Amino acid sequence: MPRSMTGFGRAEIKNSRFEITVEIRSLNNRFLDIGLKLPKSLNPYEYILKGLTKKKILRGKLTAVVNFKNLVLENGDLRLNQETVQFYHQLLEKIKSQTGIKDEITLDHLLQFKEFIEPEEAVFQDDEIKKVLTDAFDKALENLDAMRRQEAENICVDIYSRLKKIKTALNSITEKAKNSPRLELDKLYNRLQERINNKEVDKDRLELELAIIADRVDVTEECIRLSSHLDLFKDVLDNKDEVGKQLTFLLQEMHRETNTIGSKTSDISISHEMIRLKEEIEKLREQIQNLE
């Protein structure tokens, strides 16, 4: 079953010590482009998370945001960053020296800066964090995949409808085109009848020209190839997961056959069918751009 390249997945896992939330969004893209936004403490796991993504997602531009909450800190454990305190104290002394201020530096002055008071980091085992992180990320990917599949189902409903319209138009063109060579020859015969009577036309040359015209206006081969492309298109859509690239190629071939048919016929009724057929192929192309 195909997947859409757009979707959203979210997951949250919490234990007694910390909570991890993962949100993943995906958009259309020719290739797989993974962007991760992680807390600094989780940066070492970036490679692992990208590996998990590549196993489940083939194409699309993904943005994954991971939030980490340390529940141990809810007890209010804080620590003093002595290096930061010393830095700001020296900075204030320098300001005093350069401005000529005589006042003493007090605690109130230092409390204007909040950077030197920070949470006490809890110590967690790497395996403990890794399991919760990968479980949450996997669950978000599953939810993303479910949404992408659901959206693809909706897209495919529209695609199948358009394939049916194209098939109907092609059958009509095929039927009408059966008499096209004969009609073209009749038109030419009527135009040349007067010259034939006046012996102004070389008979051998006329037969050659008629044979060329008959071949030029015959669209049987193009209709057969277009019908074959439609059957293959549906087969790929029904039986493959990664369909975008192959269906894009088939649409190019369908467009080529359609243009050839249009250039060969002068039947106005066929021309009208060709306009509708091209419109449906273009709408198919727009829909296929959304599929992985």
The CATH number of the domain holding residue 37 is 3.30.230
Q: How many CA atoms lie within 13 A of 61 on its CB side?
A: 5
221 found inside a domain: yes
The better pLDDT of the pair 190, 261 is held by 261
29 found inside a domain: yes
Count how many domains the chain has.
Answer: 3
Q: What is the mean pLDDT of the chain?
A: 82
DSSP string, 203-271: HHHHHHHHHHHHHHT--HHHHHHHHHHHHHHHHHHHH-S--HHHHHHHHHHHHHHHHHHHHH---HHHH
C-alpha–C-alpha distance, residues 234 and 108, integer Å: 74
pLDDT per residue as tens digits for the range 17-27? 788 999 999 99
Range of the domain at 272: 150-288
Token pair for residue 241?
């997961």
69 found inside a domain: yes
168 found inside a domain: yes
CB 4 within 8 A of CB 241: no
> Average pLDDT of 120-127?
55
39 conformational bin, left if phi > 0, alpha if psi -120 to 50, beta if neither: beta
The predicted pLDDT at position 199 comes to 60
User: Structure pTM?
Assistant: 0.67
The better pLDDT of the pair 184, 228 is held by 228
> Average pLDDT of 200-220?
67
The predicted pLDDT at position 123 comes to 44
Q: Is the pLDDT of residue 50 over 50?
A: yes
Shared domain for 156 and 258, answered yes or no, is yes
**Band (151; pLDDT cuts 50, 70, 90):** very high
CA 162 to each of CA 201, 214, 277: distance values in angstroms, whole numbers, following the listed order: 49, 32, 9
2 found inside a domain: no
Shared domain for 237 and 247, answered yes or no, is yes
DSSP letter (8 states) at residue 161: H
Shared domain for 162 and 56, answered yes or no, is no
50 found inside a domain: yes
Shared domain for 91 and 183, answered yes or no, is no
Across the strands, what pairs with 24? 9, 64
Q: Is the pLDDT of residue 119 over 70?
A: no
Shared domain for 163 and 282, answered yes or no, is yes
**Band (72; pLDDT cuts 50, 70, 90):** low
Shared domain for 144 and 226, answered yes or no, is no
179 found inside a domain: yes
Shared domain for 35 and 93, answered yes or no, is no
Shared domain for 11 and 140, answered yes or no, is yes
C-alpha–C-alpha distance, residues 214 and 194, integer Å: 21
1 found inside a domain: no
194 conformational bin, left if phi > 0, alpha if psi -120 to 50, beta if neither: alpha
Shared domain for 186 and 216, answered yes or no, is yes
Where helices occur in 62-125 by DSSP H, the ranges are 82-99, 107-110
Shared domain for 260 and 235, answered yes or no, is yes
Q: Is the pLDDT of residue 122 over 60?
A: no
Bridge-based pairing state of the strands 117-119 and 78-80: antiparallel
Shared domain for 93 and 187, answered yes or no, is no
Instruction: Using DSSP, state whether 64 is helix, strand or coil.
Output: strand
Shared domain for 276 and 189, answered yes or no, is yes
